[in-house]
Amino acid sequence: MLDYVLFGNTIQNYILALSVLLLFVGAGQLFSATIVRILKKIASKTETVVDDVLVNILEAPTVFALFIVGFKLTAVFITFGVRGQEIHSNIVEMLIVIDVIWACMRLTDVFVEHYLAPLTAKSKSKLDDHLLPFVRKFFKIVIVVIGAIFLIKNMGYDVTSLVAGLGIGGLAFALAAQPLLSNLFGGISIIADKPFQIGDRIRVDQKYEGYVKEMGMRSTVIRTANDTMLHLPNNIIATTAIENLTYTDNQAIRVLFNIGLEYNTKVEKIEEAIKIIKNVLTDHPNIVKTGLTAPFVGFSEFKESSLNLSCGYSLFPTSKSTAIRTEVNLKIKKELEAAHIHFAYPTQTIHLKKE
């Protein structure tokens, strides 16, 4: 029975090959249960944590490597033929590449957690912490790409020709990914320059103001005075003026707004409106009264359908800024209505001429 030939090999050959494979699988389990346990005990007695980490991360790839050795040795007992031997060799090489990729990715996690993380923890800036996930993913992508190149080459494809063939597609992809890459490098430049930290209050390009909540590789999230979350692309922040208001002597929140009055409003009523608004602003306890950030009200311009009053004030830092602004706006509207001063809205006056 053992001499029965199947696909050019006897049953005995198959049993021997399977026995060798199972032997190395068992050796892997034995290695994990005994030798690794001994190595862990030895490593635990040393002062450094590097040996403990290496034992843990290399345990599984080593067990898999023993399986690969057993799989390779099956060719000693089984005759595959020319094509079969080639396929067997390719499978062994693919398994080796996969095992190396696996080990390198586990080493990457260790490198980030035990070397980069402590370095960023010593830095005063919190932006470094947001760089760690990107660094981890970047290294893993590089490892996978290099491994994929080896696998493709192992399958018999010409990697150089393949890359050249993907040139046009790569160019199209690069053009499509340009905004993403722009924001990516913008985030890296922000982390490198460190113009602000998480929790700082900043003003971007004199348009956007708020507290930095978090920073990603594509955008930075800012909590505005209206308690809304504003997502600003990193390339905008990296290429425009940034004011860090956290480290100024006056950390007040600036509020600017316009009020439009009807065109038929008398000069006396305009002056009264300015006085009313200024009194409302100066009477509120949470508004800064002195200095460059004191309240101001002025007749600024003649618009198409309104007489514009430019107003501004500054709030002391508080979590109730939205509620305070609501109080101020309601008070202004109430006082102006009581004085019979009317707000303007877009209108047109059409004159008809009779022939």
CB atoms closer than 10 angstroms to residue 105: 17
Q: How far is CA 176 from CA 144, 179, 181, 218, in A?
A: 23, 7, 10, 15
- Pairing assessment for the beta strands 5-6 and 253-261 based on DSSP bridges: unpaired
Q: Which of 73, 138, 63 is nearest to 103 (CA)?
A: 63
Q: How far apart are CA 65 and CA 91, in angstroms?
A: 13
Highest mean pLDDT among 145-159, 184-198, 326-340: 326-340
Lowest mean pLDDT among 109-118, 206-215, 314-323: 109-118
Domain boundaries, the chain: 5-159, 166-248, 253-338
Is the pLDDT at 119 greater than 70? The verdict is: no
Please give the CATH architecture assigned to the domain spanning 166-248.
Roll (2.30)
For 71, 348, 350, 351, the CA distances from 354, given in Å and listed in that order, are 103, 19, 13, 10
Maximum average pLDDT range among 212-216, 226-230, 337-341: 337-341
CATH number of 253-338: 3.30.70.100
Instruction: Give the residue with greater pLDDT, 103 vs 180.
Output: 103
Give 14's contacts (C-beta < 8 A, 6+ positions apart).
6, 77, 78
Over residues 36-60, the mean pLDDT reads 70
- Mean confidence (pLDDT) of the chain: 78
Q: Would you call 132 helix, strand, or coil by DSSP?
A: helix
User: Is the pLDDT at 123 greater than 90, yes or no?
Assistant: no
The mean pLDDT of 177-184, rounded to a whole number, is 66
Mean pLDDT is highest, among 125-129, 189-193, 194-198, 244-248, for 194-198
Contact yes or no for 281/313 (Cβ under 8 A): yes
Maximum C-alpha span of the chain: 122
DSSP-assigned letter for residue 35: I
Instruction: Compute and round to an integer the Cα radius of gyration of the chain.
Output: 36
CA–CA distance, 137 with 130 (Å, rounded to integer) = 12
Distance, CA of 207 to CA of 209 (rounded, Å):
7
Eight-class DSSP state of 214: E
| Stretch among 5-19, 145-159, 166-180, 281-295 having the lowest mean pLDDT | 166-180
Phi, psi of 174 (to 5 degrees): -65, -40
Res. 309: pLDDT tops 90? yes
Tokens 């059409």 belong to residue: 350
Query: And the tokens for 42?
Result: 């030895």
3-state secondary structure of 341: coil
**pLDDT for 262:** 92
| 289 sits in which H/E element | none
Tokens found for residue 27: 């050796």
Of 218, 192, 186, 213, the closest CA to residue 202 belongs to 213
Q: Do the domains spanning 166-248 and 253-338 agree at the CATH topology level?
A: no
Cβ atoms of residues 235 and 250 within 8 Å: no
- Name the more confident of 304 and 194: 304
DSSP symbol at 287: B
Confidence of residue 302 (pLDDT cuts 50, 70, 90): very high
Range with the lowest mean pLDDT among 23-37, 68-82, 83-97, 109-123? Answer: 109-123
Report residue 172's pLDDT band, with 50, 70 and 90 as the boundaries: low
3-state helix, strand, coil in the chain (%, to 5): 60, 15, 25
